[in-house]
Amino acid sequence: MYGIQSWGENLRLLVELSATAAFALSGLMEAARKKLDVVGICVVGFLTAFGGGTLRDLLLDQRPFFWVQHVGVLWGVLGLCVLAMLFMRHRHFELTEKAIQWPDALGLGLFAATGVHHALAAGMPGLVAVMMGLVTGVFGGVLRDMVCNEIPTAFRDHRPYAVCAFAGGWVYVGLWQFDAPGWAALTACVVVTAGLRGLALWRNWQLPAWHV
């Protein structure tokens, strides 16, 4: 039993690390596209990677924060920002908004899953857990776009974004209620959230906009 629990914790840690890397990558790509210097790129990468998880931990009153508890991850994000910037400059990587959308979609799914898990593990109701997943998945990107002087993608892109995290969160909650294995709920949430966002980008699905 202890081995199964330990494996589950390692899986959740791996998911959170993967989400951090994916969002850090989307942040540094947006910062580089805006032609920020190395300090600006590292700051935007940090905010994108850790903003949502930090707000989640604040709302759930959990300490220490993920990036405080795992300082190596913080070093990894800073190193990723510097190395990726050098690589993209050397390879003349084209920093288009479309290129940023795919690591962002992956990070959305991964972070939504970890947010829901943390809330359910803390004994929160299903709706609160889904909202924590949404906050974890969306808020980092909101901070990224605000710092880069853009209306956040979650608000201006009419293709479903937060809605995808909301749907994936309920998949996690439903499987949790039926006592499904933790890895199954985690994987299903990631697949549904990131998959829906990917389909929305591919098929150009649009949410109805407000027309005056």
User: How far is 142 from 156, CA to CA, in rounded Å?
Assistant: 11
Query: Does the residue 40 lie in any domain?
Result: yes
Who wins on pLDDT, 91 or 47? 47
Lowest mean pLDDT among 58-72, 75-89, 91-105: 91-105
Query: Does the residue 2 lie in any domain?
Result: no
Query: Does the residue 5 lie in any domain?
Result: no
Query: Does the residue 211 lie in any domain?
Result: no
Predicted confidence at residue 155, as pLDDT, reads: 83
User: How far is 48 from 62, CA to CA, in rounded Å?
Assistant: 20
71-91 and 2-33 helices, crossing angle to 10°: 40
Who wins on pLDDT, 101 or 149? 149
User: How far is 131 from 151, CA to CA, in rounded Å?
Assistant: 21
Query: Does the residue 71 lie in any domain?
Result: yes
Average pLDDT value for the chain: 84
**Averaged over 78-102, what is the pLDDT?**
71
Please check whether residue 78 is in contact with residue 46, taking contact to mean a CB–CB distance below 8 angstroms: yes
Q: What is the pLDDT of residues 156-210, one digit of tens each?
A: 878 888 899 999 999 999 999 998 888 889 889 999 999 999 898 888 888 777 7
Q: What is the pLDDT of residues 105-126, one digit of tens each?
A: 888 888 899 999 999 999 999 9
Query: Does the residue 132 lie in any domain?
Result: yes
Please check whether residue 57 is in contact with residue 66, taking contact to mean a CB–CB distance below 8 angstroms: yes
Residue 107 corresponds to which tokens in the numbers above?
């990070």
Residue 186 corresponds to which tokens in the numbers above?
């985690």
Domain that holds residue 58: 13-203
Q: What is the pLDDT of residues 31-47, one digit of tens each?
A: 888 888 888 988 999 99
Residue 7 corresponds to which tokens in the numbers above?
């494996």
Based on the structure, what is the number of domains in the chain? 1
Which residue has 């993209």 as its token pair?
A: 88
- Report pTM: 0.83
Which residue has 């924060």 as its token pair?
A: 65
Query: Does the residue 141 lie in any domain?
Result: yes
The Cβ-side half-sphere exposure at 203, using a 13 Å CA radius, reads 10
Query: Does the residue 212 lie in any domain?
Result: no
